[in-house]
Structures are given as structure tokens and as C-alpha cells.
Amino acid sequence: MNNSRLRKVGSRILALLLLFYVGYQIFKANYSSIRTENVSYFTASRTVKVSVVALRNEVLLTSPAGGAVDFAINSGSRVAKGGTIAEIYANSEQISVKHQLADIDREIQQLQNLQQSASAYSLSAETANERICMKLSEMLNYVSSGELPKVYSEKSSLLNLLSEKEIGTGKVKDFKSRISELQSQRKTIAAKAGKPTGTIVSPVSGYFIDSTDGMESAYDISKISTITCSDIQKLQTMKAVPVSGSIGKIDRDFNWYLVCIVPADELVPFRHQMDTGGNLSIQFPFVSNMSISATLETINMNSDNSAGAVVLQCKEINSELVGIRRETANISFGEYTGLRVSQKAVHYANVKSTTKDANGKKTTVEKKVMGVYVLHGNQIVFRQIVPEFSTESYVICKANPNDDEILTSDTVRYNDEVVVEGTNLYDGKVIK
């Protein structure tokens, strides 16, 4: 009796499960849940991250046997042959006094100029504060971008704006007392100032660099076109040690080089660049936010499947870049602008296309092509795409491909809704 009841209960459960399964399949066949994303215009670039070594035609500058050095130009400045690089003083205290006197003279001149033009200043506190805030914002931008020398150079401008606010808003009538105080201070320290005992001039024209690392003659720059991966490996592992008895160096050529080892599987964009020419864009993420242009000079390889010794020629230099020797660089190979679609939206489908020649003869072509499913109303249609650039997450497609590049009646368009999630997708499917 119990076995009979158990069989009946089991039969009913199986029947219910079968009914549920059939109902689910019917529902699944007639209902599709999809998710879409809108197509947008986008600009991207192919970037390769490498470790580079900077090589220049560098001439070391000898420091004097005695005395203290006061540089007359900043690192990264261009200098002519015979141009003054530094002055020599008896001791560092004289240099400190020299700079103090220059700062005092500059402030006195600013205050005297404001004093003479006091009648021309009539501004509200709000206006004055806006100008001061703008200057502070400008200085903060220099700090965030690592351009610290510019921060110091803007200090006097900020002090001048603060003084303008005081006299322009009537907080002070004049700066006579401050000028008198500065003049008295100047007299007190002027006695400690000395005159330079000598100068250091540049033996060649070029860019001044205020540091050395012992790698100035590590590689013969005249042989740069034949550098090998082995040569670059040695440069990458050399220990950087300042040169004793030197105060810096001159990069005598306005062209300098970056060399790096690129693995075989990452050489494709470099080889393409060699064939097409043009400039590359290089950024040093741990040095500066700015990018510089460079030309790909050569790729030296031991075999077709080996890593390549890549040589890049640069013509741009500044105070942030002159000191680099071994650095991480991001190399960008041009820009690609087009329609951006998610990799999730990309599918492959067999497409047939029929054309007629001048005699009316029909030709049918069937081909497996890359494309996306686009939602039009409650129907999805397959549209072929012509990719120009791709990453792991998206594809940049041609916005207006030629007729002979696509087999479908149209391609994807701006703001189309492409399907990024869905099952059982096919051309002409109705979405319920």
C-alpha cells in the first residue's frame, strides 16, 4: 500500500517537473532578455610600455679646485659656446648673500612701482581675491605637474598681487615704511657680499645638465644605429655614480636618443611604424605629464623571432627630461578615431551579398564577417563592422567604410543600440 502511494506521488512530481520544463522552454523561445549600449565616437591610441635608456653626446664640465659654485642658468637651459654657466665665489655664504640681495632689490623695485602707480589702483577686495586665487591655482598646477622651477618664478608675481590688494583696497596708503625696512636690511648684509673669483663657461653649444651619473661615455653615440639588445642590457644594469670633480655636463647635440628592448610579440606596431614613418608620442609617467615626439630610427634583431633593440630619436628637451637616464616610458603609435563598440557586442556571422555587373549578371558572395547586433524597435539586425583598432574591452570601427568593405546593407552608426548581452541572437529576431 505504501509503495503504491509512493509511486503515485513520484509520478505526480515527475509530471509537474515535466510540465514546468516544457513551459520554461516555451517561455524561453518566445522571450528574450537583452542589454544594449549606445555607440559613441572615440579616439584611442596604441601604447606600449617599455624601459628606456637615454643616450646623449655629453661633455663633462670640470669643477674648480676651490671655492663655491653659483649656477647662472637652470638645468635644461640652452647655452652657446663660451656662454657663462656658473660663477665661482670664495664660499657658499657669499652666494647666499648674493641671492638675498637680489630678492631684496626685486621686492624694493616692485613696491616702488606700486607706490608710483598707487592712484591707478582701485579694486574691490573680491576682485583682488579672484586674481590672487587664479595665481595660486596656476602655481598649484605647476606643483601637480612637477614643474617646481616655475613655482618659484611665480612667487614674486604672487607677492605683487598681494601688495596690489593692500594698496588697491585702501588697507595701506603707501609702502614707504616697508621700502625703508628693506633698504636698511640690504645695507646690513651687503658688507658680506663678495665678488666672483672666476667663471665657468661652456666649451660647446648645447643643453646644460647639472648632474652626472658616470654613464656619459658608457656607449659611443656614433654607433647608435648598430646597438644590440646585449648593449642595452649592459646599460640597464650599470650602476649610476656621480663623476668626481664635475659640476655637470653639456648635451652638445640637440638630438638625443632613447634605446629599449622590445619583446618579439610586441614588435608589430614598431615594424609598422618603420614602414609608414612619422612621429611617435612618448610619455614618462613617473617624470612628467607632458608628451614628446620622437622618430623611430632603427630596430636591430638577431633573428625574425627575437626581441628587438629599438632606437628612438628625440628633439624636445626641458628641465624635467634632461636628467633622465633609465626610465619607464609609454610609447603611443598614432591615434584612431571612429565608432567605439564593446567587445561584448562583437559577433561573427555568415553574410551573403548579391551584386550585378554592367551586363546584369548576378554574383553572390558568402563570407564570415565581424559585426554587431543592432536593436531597431523590437527587432535586432546584424551589421558588419570594419575595425581599425581594438583592445581587450572595445573596438574602434570605421564610421564610413567603403561599399566594397562591407557585405551587409549598412554598418553600425553613431548612437545605435548594440546588443552586449543576450542569447540566441540572429538577424531579424523579434524581441518581446
Task: Say if 290 falls within a structural domain.
Answer: no
Residue 65: inside a domain: yes
Report the C-alpha gap between 27 and 336 in whole angstroms.
Answer: 44
Among 145, 163, 190, give the residue marking a domain's end.
190
The label of the residue with cell 591707478 reads: 120
**Is residue 349 helix, strand or coil?**
strand
Residue 19 CB contacts under 8 Å (≥ 6 apart), including other chains: none
Per-residue 3-state assignment (H helix, E strand, C coil) for 79-130: ECCCCEEEEEECCHHHHHHHHHHHHHHHHHHHHHHHHHCHHHCCCCHHHHHH
Q: Which residues of 1-37 are buried (b: 16+ CB within 10 A; e: fewer)?
A: eeeeeeeeeeeeeeeeeeeeeeeeeeeeeeebebebb
| pLDDT score recorded for residue 230 | 96
pLDDT of residue 315: 87
Question: In which residue ranges of the chain is pLDDT below 70?
Answer: 1-12, 15, 20-32, 114-128, 145-153, 155-156, 159-174
Q: Which of 424, 90, 58, 112 is nearest to 221 (CA)?
A: 58
Task: State the residue range of the domain holding 64.
Answer: 58-87+202-252
How high is the pLDDT of residue 399? 92
CB of 179 closer than 8 Å to CB of 105 = no
Specify if 292 maps to a domain: no
User: Residue 132: inside a domain, yes or no?
Assistant: yes
Report pLDDT for 384: 94
Residues 240 and 105 in one domain: no
Looking at the structure, tell me whether residues 215 and 81 fall in a common domain.
Answer: yes
- Quote the CA–CA distance of 77 and 318 in Å, as a whole number: 7
Q: What one-letter code names the amino acid at 353?
A: S
Are both 76 and 212 inside the same structural domain?
A: yes
In-domain check, residue 81: yes
Residue 81's pLDDT is what?
Answer: 94
Burial status of residue 191 (CB atoms within 10 A of its CB: 0-12, 13-18, 19 or more): exposed
Q: Is residue 393, in this structure, part of any structural domain at all?
A: yes
Residues 143 and 175 in one domain: yes
pLDDT of residue 6: 64
**Among 341, 335, 353, which Cα is nearest to 412's?**
341
The total number of structural domains in the chain stands at 3
**pLDDT value at position 47?**
87
Q: Same domain, yes or no, for 182 and 97? A: yes
For residue 355 the three cell numbers come to: 551584386
Contact 237, 101 (CB under 8 A): no
* 247 & 106 share domain: no
Domain presence at residue 7: no
